[in-house]
Amino acid sequence: MDHYACLVDLLGRKGHLKEAYGVVKKLPGKPSATLLESLLGACCVHGNVEIGEKISGMLFEMDPDNPGPYVILSNISCSSWSMVRRH
């Protein structure tokens, strides 16, 4: 799982979020929270609300009491909304 986490992190850092999400969907086991948090952080950096919502949903199922994914998803949404308002 560590190797998959590294691959997802590298893809996310480069902005290849669809590819990273594809890796997550095809994992042979359940993704770790750390792997998903890494991809969620990349969604925040690159402003990808669609994948961010999917990853957040997975994290909500794992640990609904963890406020981190809620905050990051909120940040992604706010960032995306402010970009729309500027244009």
pLDDT of 5-23, one tens digit each? 999 999 999 999 999 999 9
Question: pTM for this one?
Answer: 0.84
Mean pLDDT, range 58-76, rounded to an integer: 88
How would CATH label the architecture of 2-86? Alpha Horseshoe (1.25)
Cβ atoms 1, 29 nearer than 8 A: yes
Phi-psi region of 79 (alpha: psi -120 to 50; beta: other; left: phi over 0): alpha
Interacting residues of 57 by C-beta distance below 8 A, sequence separation 6+: none
Q: Where are the domains of the chain?
A: 2-86
- Give pLDDT, residue 80: 61
